Amino acid sequence: MLDSSEQQIVNDVERFGWHITMVAPRIDSNDPDQWFAYTIGLPKTFGWPELICFGLSTSLMGNLLNSAVAELRHRHLTPRPGLVLHDVAEGFPVRLEANPLIPKNYFGFANWFASYSGMPMPEWLQLFWPDKQGRFPSEPDCVPEVVQLQTPAESE
């Protein structure tokens, strides 16, 4: 029997093709900078990796992830490391990158859904956003706060 959270994920993937969940890495975290959002169901629906975003408000991260999926579908693209998307956020591009520093336990519900759906554990791409000068965290001279906001908190 599924609990209400699990049932909501199943329902959303069946209805929309994916679900977005918001997570704090620590139960005691009230710091919105430590929250993140990720998709669930993209491998099942499209054969794509899941997407994850850090460092913004939960509503904005959810909007960015939904817009990324919409742009990928509209442009008939498959998410891959280094792919730059231009229609996700008004006025600036975003970039998808692999990030092996993200702790595997960050993806609890996505891993559960993969198992529930009889699929292998999903792969992941991080959606990175640039600083005001258009520099991404992996680029020289990116504003340190932007880098820090998009760096996953260490798992406890």
Q: Would you tell me how many other CB atoms lie within 10 Å of the CB of residue 11?
A: 12
Q: Residues 24-33: pLDDT tens digits?
A: 655 555 555 5
> Tokens in use for 152?
């996953």
Q: What is the mean pLDDT of residues 28-40?
A: 75
What confidence tier does 74 reach under pLDDT thresholds 50, 70, 90? very high
Q: What is the pTM of this model?
A: 0.91
Bridge partners of 32, per DSSP, are: none
Which alpha helices (H) appear in the chain, and where do they start and end? 4-16, 42-46, 58-74, 108-116, 144-149
